[in-house]
Amino acid sequence: MEQKIINVKAIKQQKVLNEFATELKKGKHGQRDFLIFAIGIYTGLRISDILNLKVSDVLNKTEADIIEQKTGKKRTLNLKQLTNLIIDYLNNGHSNQSDWLFYSPTDDRKKLSSHQYYKIMQKIADNLGLDYIGTHTMRKTFGYSYYQKYKDLPTLMRILNHSSQATTLRYIGIEDEQIQASLDDFSPFN
């Protein structure tokens, strides 16, 4: 099987984000697939950290402390916006299957792999004609959306554990043209 090379980006249009989420919900494991996506776009976690969550990490919690796999740093997740989705998911029998929040459909003792979730995302991306979707799309969509809402780059850098503003801006897809366009109208004397 030939692996296609894609330039993974954030989903920047609300309509596309809604369509993608709707398609995720339709699959055989739609509730699981959508919750993974929702956690990604609400927290900015990497897929490896999302799939590493255990039921005990989120059960009856509005915050969860984790250690990020890539950085080894502690991170506190705000789960308030996700509470109802998590409760519904766990109430539909997903809490007794294994310790993993997102277990493999073939073996409930194993967690879902990032490659399995990538394939789920790719199928939907292909159906919607999107050529920039990968598992990192969730993290980038979080970053882009957070920046668009708050324009708080230092906080976003901390959340994403980036070392420079340039890295964060490049990561979330704020192109040089957009930066220049914003400066065209900027004046501290207005």
Q: Kindly name the residue from 46, 94, 111, 140 that is annotated as catalytic.
A: 46
Is 75 catalytic? The answer is: no
98 is written with which tokens? 């294994």
Cβ-contact 6, 135 below 8 angstroms: no
Catalytic residue among 29, 54, 75, 136: 136
From the candidates 15, 28, 70, 151, which is the catalytic residue? 70
Task: Name the active-site residue from 139, 140, 146, 147.
Answer: 139
**What's the chain's Rg over C-alpha atoms?**
18
DSSP line for 6-31: --------HHHHHHHHHHHHHSTTHH
115 catalytic, yes or no?
A: no
Q: How far is CA 60 from CA 13, 75, 99, 175, in A?
A: 33, 18, 15, 40
Let me know if 171 is a catalytic residue.
yes
Told to judge if 118 belongs to the known catalytic residues of this protein, a careful annotator would answer no
The active-site residue out of 103, 117, 147, 171 is 171
Number of H helices, E strands in the chain: 10, 2
- Residues acting as catalytic residues: 46, 70, 136, 139, 162, 171
